[in-house]
């Protein structure tokens, strides 16, 4: 599990180890960046098409359009690029983009009134209609608060208002241009749907995460079960098979010693005998005393002496984490007994704290509960170790801690 505070529902993919590698917040940011890039690219394409058409008309039909019309498109192009590349956009940046767009629309309205190819259509001509669409797209790309909804509508209001006021001063007939209105509403609705789709995806991701967590838990338990069977096969079952073919009679001291060694190697003897070697000092004794103070019996198994051989800072982190685990069992598990199994191999110490108590759902642990997230996981991970937690309501809890032995 990626976080003891609770597995965060924030992913779109997992790697081979089951760790979250593509947070949902990154998915939202990537979607937003794609929408901004698409709107800005489309704006620049439209402006390039308009500039090309203007040049073609000037060459093929001299006098049909004013020669300086393509120059009036430059402020709109600059505003579109600024909305795309400026992150974050300061307040003065918004003012600059709006003023550049307004100046461009004043010039384009004058150009339309002086161009026979556009003047007859008034304010609903092709030139002003297409540039109004550019203003809608640029406004949507500039909007950092409502996801593009207010920006798209604001871009249309800015363009339409500037064109209408300028047309009134220069005598260009005003005609309501419907296509830009439809595009503004379409862009606003499209941007509004993105959060809804993201919320739906978040709910689906939560279900996938729960299924993945259950699968990983089953896989880990299966691996542990098979390893236990292998250990039994290599030790205890081999000795029993040998005894089954010997002559009837009491077992010898050597045979008894081999059987006990097999039981000890499989960590079963303390449970079968219901006894443990007394620990009078070190971390093991500390855990026993903490358990006794909390009203539970702590059963130590395995290489308990290795608990005192871990170098700092991992040693102190492990000691504090184990203390918290025992305290958690005493406070929350509702049992009178807990087991601490210790094993050392390949320069690492592995400790598992197990109880058969009430258990809990790690996904429902509040974020402000720091007992497991900071007192156990945080300490251990900061010292170079790892922590895994298995628990479910009514099925007890297992906390598996691995730390490096060396400094």
Distance of alpha carbon 228 from the chain centroid: 35
CA distances, 175 to each of 35, 107, 110, 119, 140 (Å):
31, 18, 15, 12, 24
Backbone angles phi, psi at 226, to 5 degrees: -65, -35
pLDDT in tens, the chain (407 residues): 333 333 333 334 444 344 444 444 555 566 667 777 888 888 899 899 999 988 998 889 888 889 999 999 999 999 889 888 887 788 888 888 899 999 999 999 999 999 887 888 888 888 898 999 888 888 888 877 776 788 888 889 999 999 999 999 999 998 888 888 888 888 777 766 666 655 665 555 555 666 666 666 666 655 555 555 555 555 555 666 666 666 677 777 777 776 666 655 544 444 444 444 555 578 888 888 888 888 888 888 888 888 888 888 888 888 888 888 888 888 888 888 888 888 887 788 888 888 888 888 776 666 555 456 667 887 888 888 888 888 778 778 888 888 888 76
Gap between the terminal Cα atoms of the chain? 26
Tokens of 319: 């000691």
Q: Which helix (H) or strand (E) holds 318?
A: helix 314-328
- Separation of alpha carbons 242 and 288, rounded Å: 38
- Separation of alpha carbons 330 and 401, rounded Å: 19
Of the candidates 247, 383, 238, 377, which has an alpha carbon nearest to the alpha carbon of residue 314?
Answer: 383
CB 316 within 8 A of CB 351: no
What burial class does residue 182 get, using C-beta atoms within 10 Å of its C-beta: 0-12 exposed, 13-18 middle, 19+ buried?
A: exposed
Q: Which residues pair with 11 in a beta bridge?
A: 23
- Alpha-helix residue ranges (DSSP H) falling in 175-281: 178-234, 236-244, 253-265, 269-273
- Separation of alpha carbons 350 and 240, rounded Å: 29
- Separation of alpha carbons 198 and 202, rounded Å: 6
Q: Which domains does the chain have, with CATH numbers?
A: 24-202 (no CATH), 238-266 (no CATH), 274-404 (3.30.565.10)
Q: What pLDDT does 275 receive? A: 46
Q: Which residues pair with 387 in a beta bridge?
A: 401
Q: Which helix (H) or strand (E) holds 175?
A: none
Count CB neighbours of 387 within 10 A. Answer: 21
Of the candidates 59, 170, 72, 63, which has an alpha carbon nearest to the alpha carbon of residue 113?
Answer: 170
Of the candidates 325, 378, 334, 329, which has an alpha carbon nearest to the alpha carbon of residue 352?
Answer: 325
pTM: 0.45
Q: What pLDDT does 13 receive? A: 42
- DSSP tag of 310: P
Q: Which residues, 6+ apart, have CB-to-CB distance to 335 below 8 Å?
A: 296, 329, 355, 356, 357
Q: What pLDDT does 194 receive? A: 64
- Separation of alpha carbons 185 and 178, rounded Å: 11
Q: What is the CA radius of gyration of the chain?
A: 36
């Amino acid at each position: 599990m990626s976080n003891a505070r609770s597995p965060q529902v924030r992913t779109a993919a997992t790697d081979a180890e089951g760790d979250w590698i593509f947070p949902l917040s990154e998915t939202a940011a990537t979607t937003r960046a794609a929408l901004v890039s698409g709107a800005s690219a489309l704006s620049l394409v439209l402006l390039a098409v308009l500039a090309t058409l203007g040049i073609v008309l000037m060459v093929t039909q001299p006098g049909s359009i004013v020669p300086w019309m393509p120059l009036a498109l430059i402020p709109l192009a600059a505003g579109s690029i600024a909305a795309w590349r400026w992150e974050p956009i300061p307040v003065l940046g918004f003012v600059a983009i709006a003023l550049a767009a307004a100046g461009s629309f004043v010039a384009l309205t004058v150009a339309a009134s002086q161009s026979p190819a556009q003047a007859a259509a008034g304010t609903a001509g092709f030139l002003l209609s297409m540039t109004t669409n550019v203003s809608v797209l640029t406004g949507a790309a500039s909007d950092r608060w409502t996801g593009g909804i207010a920006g798209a509508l604001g871009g249309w209001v800015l363009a339409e208002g500037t064109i209408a006021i300028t047309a009134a001063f220069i005598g260009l007939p005003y005609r309501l241009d419907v296509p830009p209105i439809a595009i503004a509403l379409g862009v606003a609705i499209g941007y509004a749907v993105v959060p809804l789709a993201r919320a739906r995806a978040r709910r689906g991701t939560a279900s996938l995460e729960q299924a993945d967590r259950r699968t990983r838990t089953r896989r880990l338990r299966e691996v542990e079960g098979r390893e236990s069977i292998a250990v039994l096969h290599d030790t205890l079952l081999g000795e029993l098979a040998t005894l089954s073919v010997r002559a009837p009679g009491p077992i010898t001291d050597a045979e008894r010693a081999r059987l006990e060694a097999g039981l000890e190697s499989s960590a079963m003897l303390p449970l079968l005998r219901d006894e443990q070697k007394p620990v009078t000092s070190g971390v093991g004794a500390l855990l026993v005393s903490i358990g006794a103070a909390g009203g539970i019996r702590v059963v130590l198994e395995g290489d308990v002496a290795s608990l005192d051989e871990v170098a700092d800072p991992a040693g102190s982190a492990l000691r504090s984490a184990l203390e918290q685990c025992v305290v958690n069992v005493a406070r929350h598990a509702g049992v009178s007994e807990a087991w601490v199994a210790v094993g050392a191999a390949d320069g690492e110490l592995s400790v598992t704290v197990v109880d058969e108590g009430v258990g809990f759902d790690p996904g429902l642990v509040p974020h402000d509960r720091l007992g497991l997230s900071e007192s156990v996981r945080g300490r251990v991970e900061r010292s170079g170790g790892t922590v895994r937690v298995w628990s479910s309501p009514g099925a007890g809890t297992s906390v598996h801690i691995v730390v490096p032995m060396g400094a």
